[in-house]
Amino acid sequence: MSWRYFCLDLALNVAFGAAVGAVAALAVSPAWPGPLAMAAGMAGGMAIAFPFATAAGIWMGAFEVMLPSMLTGMTAGMFAAMRASAEGLDFSGGAALGAVCGAGSFLYSALLNLYLRGVVMR
């Protein structure tokens, strides 16, 4: 993976996480029970991620796009919805939390990819 694609993937995952986090923050209120908010955020984030990952995977590769974007959708949706149900979360707070989830999910999957490629090469 070249640095150009690495930076592009990272930026896309951060933007995607911000979008999912903002949507989850707007959809969930403090009246929701925590487990229901978490399940709805996870399912909603993955539902939003699936068409994006499928379309982008055609050009960039399934592993490089599908794993990080589905993980980003799941974690950003879960964390933003849980935070919104616990204490309320506005649009910008959900976007910031989702962006952090997007960066973390992408870095985790990129490091996992590098490790697995190294194991196979040995």
Pair 6, 103: CB distance under 8 Å = no
Q: How far is CA 77 from CA 72, 107, 119, in A?
A: 8, 18, 32
Q: Using CA atoms, how far apart are residues 15 and 109, in angstroms rounded to an integer?
A: 16
Q: Using CA atoms, how far apart are residues 19 and 98, in angstroms rounded to an integer?
A: 7
Asked whether the predicted pLDDT for residue 58 surpasses 90, the reply is no
Pair 15, 70: CB distance under 8 Å = no
As for how many domains the chain has, the answer is 1
Structure tokens at 107: 């870095």
Q: Using CA atoms, how far apart are residues 97 and 94, in angstroms rounded to an integer?
A: 5
- pTM score: 0.87
pLDDT band at 118 (very low <50, low <70, confident <90, very high): confident
- Render pLDDT for 2-51 as a digit per residue (tens, 0 to 9): 788 788 889 989 999 999 999 999 999 999 999 999 999 999 999 988 88
| Residue ranges making up the domain that contains 21 | 3-121
Q: Using CA atoms, how far apart are residues 92 and 22, in angstroms rounded to an integer?
A: 7
- Render pLDDT for 85-110 as a digit per residue (tens, 0 to 9): 999 899 999 999 999 999 999 999 98
